[in-house]
């Protein structure tokens, strides 16, 4: 695990510190993972207080856990995580109740890829805002998004054995993190859920020309 380090002054100048409300909003979508991973670094991109020191950790986790070693791998995984929402004809209520798990992880791996040096900041934010616009469309609040994330995480973690004590403890721990972040003064969810995200979609008419 990449631990928090450096002085507060250094962290303020660090590249993994969010630069505006849009970046803070994106980080809030996966702050629960950042808090779990870094044990206190939810406010940084991918929970990483320093990009240089955490890059190797992110490269390892992306390769080991996601099979992501380059931009092509990343785009395939991002597309997989968001595909159901992009084509909403196949989306049902059960998907919405658990799909926050995939959408939040889509932003998570983009943050990880930025820290790992696979994509730059502009690429990270462009794709993250695409996922964020889907979140805002299907969920009315941070609470609803986090609830869907937890439902999906629980389904995944308990898929092999619903009575597995270690898995149940992991679910409870993740639930506690989400509850804490949702009500934390000045926490990730203090960024307005319905803020207008600076994302531009291509005009379909332009694409046909």
In whole angstroms, what separates CA 113 from the centre of its chain? Answer: 11
Look at the chain and report how many structural domains it folds into.
Answer: 1
Cα–Cα distance measured from residue 172 to residue 179, given in angstroms and rounded to the nearest whole number: 10
Asked if 181 and 32 count as a contact pair (C-beta separation under 8 A), the reply is yes
Residue bearing the bigger pLDDT, 86 or 188: 188
Look at residue 187 and tell me whether its pLDDT is greater than 50.
Answer: yes
* DSSP-based three-state secondary structure for 154: helix
- Claim: this prediction has a pTM higher than 0.85: yes
Copy the structure tokens of residue 202: 């291509």
Asked, for residue 2, whether it belongs to a domain, the answer is no
d(CA 30, CA 41): 11
Residue 1: inside a domain, yes or no?
no
Q: Helix, strand, or coil here: 62?
A: helix
Alpha-carbon distance 187 to 191, whole Å? Answer: 8
Strand, coil or helix: what is 97?
helix
In a domain, 11, yes or no: no
Q: Is residue 3 part of a domain?
A: no
What was the pLDDT predicted at 178? Answer: 97
Residues 134 and 80 sit within 8 Å (Cβ to Cβ): no
**Residue-range definition of the domain harbouring residue 163:** 20-46+56-188
Q: What is the pLDDT of residue 87?
A: 77
Residue 14 lies in a domain: no
Distances (CA, A) of 5 to 11, 19, 110: 8, 19, 22
pLDDT at 201: 53
> What digits encode the pLDDT tens for the residues 13-26?
358 999 999 999 99
In a domain, 143, yes or no: yes
Give the CA dihedral 12, 16, 20, 26, nearest 10 degrees: -140
Two structure tokens written together for 100: 């926050």
* The predicted structure's pLDDT at residue 65: 97
- pLDDT at site 164: 84
pLDDT digits (tens, 9 = 90+) for 154-183: 999 998 777 889 999 999 999 999 999 999
């Amino acid at each position: 695990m990449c631990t928090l380090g450096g002085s507060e002054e250094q962290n303020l100048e660090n590249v993994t510190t969010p630069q505006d409300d849009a970046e803070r909003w994106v980080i809030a979508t996966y702050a629960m993972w950042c808090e779990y991973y870094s044990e206190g670094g939810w406010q940084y991109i991918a929970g990483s207080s320093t990009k240089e020191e955490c890059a190797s950790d992110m490269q390892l986790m992306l390769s080991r856990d996601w099979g992501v070693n380059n931009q092509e791998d990343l785009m395939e995984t991002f597309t997989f995580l968001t595909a159901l929402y992009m084509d909403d004809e196949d989306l049902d209520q059960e998907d919405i109740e658990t799909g926050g798990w995939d959408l939040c992880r889509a932003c998570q791996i983009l943050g990880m890829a930025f820290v790992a040096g696979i994509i730059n900041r502009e690429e990270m934010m462009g794709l993250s805002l695409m996922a964020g616009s889907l979140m805002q469309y299907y969920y009315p609040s941070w609470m609803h998004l986090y609830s869907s994330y937890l439902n999906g995480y629980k389904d995944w973690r308990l898929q092999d054995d619903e009575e597995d004590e270690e898995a149940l403890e992991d679910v409870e721990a993740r639930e506690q993190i989400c509850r804490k972040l949702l009500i934390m003064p000045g926490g990730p969810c203090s960024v307005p859920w319905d803020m207008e995200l600076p994302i531009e979609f291509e005009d379909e008419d332009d694409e046909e020309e």
